[in-house]
Chain A
Amino acid sequence: MSQAQESDSSLLVVVLDANASAWAQSPLSLDKALQQLVIFINAYLALNPENQLVVLGASHKECRYLFPADPSSAPPTHDIQVYEQFRTVDVHVLSGVHEMLSSHVDGNTEEQQSLIARALSKALCHINQVNQLSVNKIWSRILVLSAGQDSPHSYIPLMNTIFAAQKMSVLIDICKVFGQDSVFLQQAAEITGGNYLKVDTNSEASLLQTLLFICLPDQYTRNILNAPGNDLIDFRATCFCHKRVVDIGYVCSVCLSIFCQTAPVCSTCQTKFSFRLVKSDSNQSNSTSSPNASAMSSLSLKP
């Protein structure tokens, strides 16, 4: 892979988490957040006339392109006070978000999980298409503005997209506006080489400042700048029974599920264990030809 040049154009894909229930609880209102996002987008577009932009909205149920918008929608009206290129983008984004949120009716708080994996897949497909069609080298990155939770069901697709992005040398920056730290998204940033940023909206941190400082530089500039890292990513395993972090535990040799204490039967795959506990030096793993595991092996992880 060739190195980034200063003159290379870039493609930014913004994945906006439009989860209504999450935004409803956020101290930073969606209105303000969108304002700041729009300013950031304008700044990005201003950097280089060849910069390209794609905005995707991801809610609980759907995921759609906010920009470039559907050509059948009506073109926005002119306004001489606003720079034309910016105005197109902004209007489309805002109207798109509006549409997405208006379809949401009930206030189910359980559904705070957005379709991030789907959005990332769409983004990567678009990036691939652009790469195929263009003559020059275009460096792409993805910015995810996340307010909701990550769903464990989409773990596998999410990891697939993360590895695909790594292969395509696409950076993924995560900006967590509201909610707990998402382990999956932390891993996304870590693996692809992007940044995981937590905007502490409770204590009046500035989303715009964060975005402009960290997420604006392109790949060439990032090689020169230092970025704040997140060295608190917890890659340790958690046990299946209590969801506690384990350093040393027990692993079922059939389904590889982790437990912090011994049990006669594995709760995931119903394998019966016979208790011949092995010392830490041997590494007995039995074949999967019979559902009776003859030993549990001990697992030790380095934190």
Chain B
Amino acid sequence: MILLPGENIKQSSKTAYKKAEGTLYFTNKRLVWCKGDEQTPTVELAHETIHSPRVNKSDTKVMLKVITIAPGTANEPSETNAPVFIWKQENKTEANDERTKFVTELSILSTRRTHTASSGQKSAAPTPNQNTTSNEYNKLKIGAAPASADEIKLRQEVLSKNGDLAKVHKSLVISGLVTEDEFWSTRKHILETYAIQSQLRKGESSAWLDLAPQNLETGNFKYTITPNVARHIFKEYPQVKRAYVDNVPHVVSEKEFWKRFVASQFFNRGRSADAVKGRDKIFDKCTQEEDSAFNDTKQINLAFLTRLLDLTRTEEDATETGNAPDFTMRPSKTDSKLALIRRFNHHSQLVLQTVLNSKRKQLASDHNSTDKMLEEATVLEDLDIPQPEKKVKLNVKDRSRYFSSLTADDANKQSKKCALDPAEVRAALDISFDISRPLDGCGNAQKTMSTLSHATHRLTLQKRPNRIQELQIPDDINVA
């Protein structure tokens, strides 16, 4: 078979395809089947097109079916193009072994594909993983003109993710109607949201790890313990981590460790009712540790208490009146499921702590206010000694300047006249009239009257002109 440059054959086997004999090759780039002794392949499947292998279960015929997909699409295997290869060896075990080799290679391919597919899908969603190449925009100041290189990158990413925006951008900017900066100046919020989202990290999964075995055909149980699973186990059970650190690799190998773990009573406690699996030195210690940790309910974490909350208020034990204390909500000591329930509680606590820890770090760093709620409830500002406020005094020199007006100015002029003669003053102020006598003149009453009535007339004419015209008052009416 002719190899591509850089290609080397990993597996090869004589198989039959479409009732013709040939050889099936698995290389590092593709899966190839050549008919007979031909050099050119009849069936050629690049690694990207291979989805997964399928085997049949019968012992008489050893077949391998390869599901393919079109490269680059989502996981939708096409059933139309799924070549089937048959091993026609006499020795079925040998045929099986051959097939198994291919199956292994193809499964590796398929798992790799699912990993990349899932990671690819994740990056399409708004929260990319740590291993994607999206840029960190946390320090970027959007809107700085001229646009920095980071901002340009950000803009391009936003455009590539957002089809509608790209269309608008194309029609406006590239055709020259709006400049790039103007276009983005009204869309700052889009850039900002995207920049913030690029910093978000997906947190750890809070699912309860259930290590269930896979049942193989031969009746063996298979526990798959990947590093991820191992990490999860260590997080959940710190005792196991300690045991691992202590014992691996000098006491037991890693495989041995996990084997014993799975077989141990510790692991199986709570899974099945019959927990009699035999003693195991390492994991019995784990069991003891866990029991002691969980059963010790006296210890309370005093660091982050809410002091205003008094849970004992709701206690209903009123022993003064002669009632016996309540015994209903107590954990029983002999319940076999107790450990499991405790473990569940512990797990929930762990999940909450991942959120609370960040908040608690904030609180701890802010040394002044350990319990803000408590302070607000107990400290009364009104009872504090009143601090004198720091004010700047308004320094007004002469307040009468506000109140003096035009007349005051003239009054100053008048006061410059010489003082009156006191005798004159007294003469002027002499009051000596007889109230029983009639008035001896009070000025020109007629003239006053006409002045006043004219003034009234004029004013009324301004305000209510219609009224006077209606009444048709003649002009000479004020003559007495």
| A complexed with B | yes
Interface residues of A (CB under 8 A from B): 20-21, 23-25, 28-32, 34-36, 38-39, 79, 81-82, 86-87, 90-91, 94, 97-98, 101, 105-110, 112, 149-150, 152-153, 155-156, 180-183, 201, 203-210, 213-214, 226-229, 231, 234, 238, 240, 243, 245, 254-255, 257, 267-270, 288-291
Once bound together, how far apart are the Cα atoms of A207 and B324, in whole Å?
A: 102
Across the interface, do B459 and A229 meet the contact criterion of CB distance under 8 Å? yes
Across the interface, do A31 and B425 meet the contact criterion of CB distance under 8 Å? no
Across the interface, do A38 and B435 meet the contact criterion of CB distance under 8 Å? yes
The yes or no answer to B219 lying at the interface (CB within 8 A) is no
Across the interface, do A149 and B435 meet the contact criterion of CB distance under 8 Å? no
Across the interface, do B407 and A183 meet the contact criterion of CB distance under 8 Å? yes
Once bound together, how far apart are the Cα atoms of A39 and B442, in whole Å?
A: 11
Interface residues of B (CB under 8 A from A): 391-392, 394-398, 400-411, 414-415, 417, 419-422, 424-425, 428-433, 435-436, 439-445, 447-449, 451-453, 455-457, 459-460
Return the 8 tightest CB-CB contacts between A and B, nearest first: A155-B403, A228-B455, A206-B443, A152-B403, A107-B420, A209-B448, A206-B448, A209-B445
Across the interface, do B459 and A226 meet the contact criterion of CB distance under 8 Å? yes
Once bound together, how far apart are the Cα atoms of A106 and B435, in whole Å?
A: 29
Chain B's closest residue to A155 (CB) is: B403
20 residue pairs bridging A and B, Cβ less than 8 Å apart: A23-B429, A24-B424, A34-B433, A36-B442, A39-B439, A91-B435, A94-B435, A107-B425, A112-B415, A152-B404, A152-B405, A155-B402, A156-B403, A181-B407, A203-B447, A226-B456, A240-B401, A268-B401, A269-B394, A288-B392
Across the interface, do B435 and A87 meet the contact criterion of CB distance under 8 Å? yes
**Contact partner of B400 among A31, A81, A105, A153, CB < 8 A?**
A153
A243-B404, A245-B406 given; A204·B443 CB < 8 A: yes
Residues of chain A within 8 A of B405, CB atoms compared: 152, 183, 238, 243
Residues of chain A within 8 A of B394, CB atoms compared: 254-255, 269, 288
**Least CB distance, A176 to chain B, in whole angstroms:** 11
Residues of chain B within 8 A of A81, CB atoms compared: 436
Chain A CB within 10 Å, residue with most, of B400, B406, B439: B406
**Least CB distance, A203 to chain B, in whole angstroms:** 8
Residues of chain A within 8 A of B439, CB atoms compared: 35-36, 39, 208
Residues of chain B within 8 A of A234, CB atoms compared: 406
**Contact partner of A152 among B408, B430, B436, CB < 8 A?**
B408
**Least CB distance, A165 to chain B, in whole angstroms:** 19
Given contacts A81-B436, A107-B424, 11 further A-B contacts (CB under 8 A): A20-B425, A24-B420, A31-B432, A105-B422, A106-B422, A155-B403, A205-B447, A226-B456, A257-B401, A268-B401, A269-B397
**Least CB distance, B433 to chain A, in whole angstroms:** 5
Across the interface, do B402 and A257 meet the contact criterion of CB distance under 8 Å? yes
Chain A's closest residue to B444 (CB) is: A204
Residues of chain B within 8 A of A183, CB atoms compared: 405-407
**Contact partner of B406 among A107, A243, A288, CB < 8 A?**
A243
Across the interface, do A32 and B442 meet the contact criterion of CB distance under 8 Å? yes
**Least CB distance, B431 to chain A, in whole angstroms:** 5
Across the interface, do B445 and A206 meet the contact criterion of CB distance under 8 Å? yes
Across the interface, do A207 and B407 meet the contact criterion of CB distance under 8 Å? no
Chain A CB within 10 Å, residue with most, of B403, B435, B441, B456: B435
Residues of chain B within 8 A of A20, CB atoms compared: 425, 429
**Least CB distance, B245 to chain A, in whole angstroms:** 63
Residues of chain A within 8 A of B442, CB atoms compared: 32, 35-36, 206-209
Across the interface, do A21 and B451 meet the contact criterion of CB distance under 8 Å? no
Once bound together, how far apart are the Cα atoms of A152 and B204, in whole Å?
A: 80
A20-B425, A39-B439, A288-B392 given; A210·B452 CB < 8 A: yes
Residues of chain A within 8 A of B410, CB atoms compared: 180
Across the interface, do A31 and B430 meet the contact criterion of CB distance under 8 Å? yes
Once bound together, how far apart are the Cα atoms of A81 and B434, in whole Å?
A: 11
Residues of chain B within 8 A of A25, CB atoms compared: 420
A94-B431, A201-B443 given; A209·B420 CB < 8 A: no
Once bound together, how far apart are the Cα atoms of A78 and B36, in whole Å?
A: 160
Residues of chain A within 8 A of B395, CB atoms compared: 269-270, 291
Residues of chain B within 8 A of A98, CB atoms compared: 431
Once bound together, how far apart are the Cα atoms of A254 and B421, in whole Å?
A: 47
**Least CB distance, B471 to chain A, in whole angstroms:** 11
A79-B436, A228-B459, A268-B401 given; A255·B396 CB < 8 A: yes
Once bound together, how far apart are the Cα atoms of A79 and B437, in whole Å?
A: 12
Chain A's closest residue to B397 (CB) is: A268
**Contact partner of B452 among A101, A153, A213, CB < 8 A?**
A213
Once bound together, how far apart are the Cα atoms of A30 and B430, in whole Å?
A: 8
Across the interface, do B406 and A238 meet the contact criterion of CB distance under 8 Å? yes
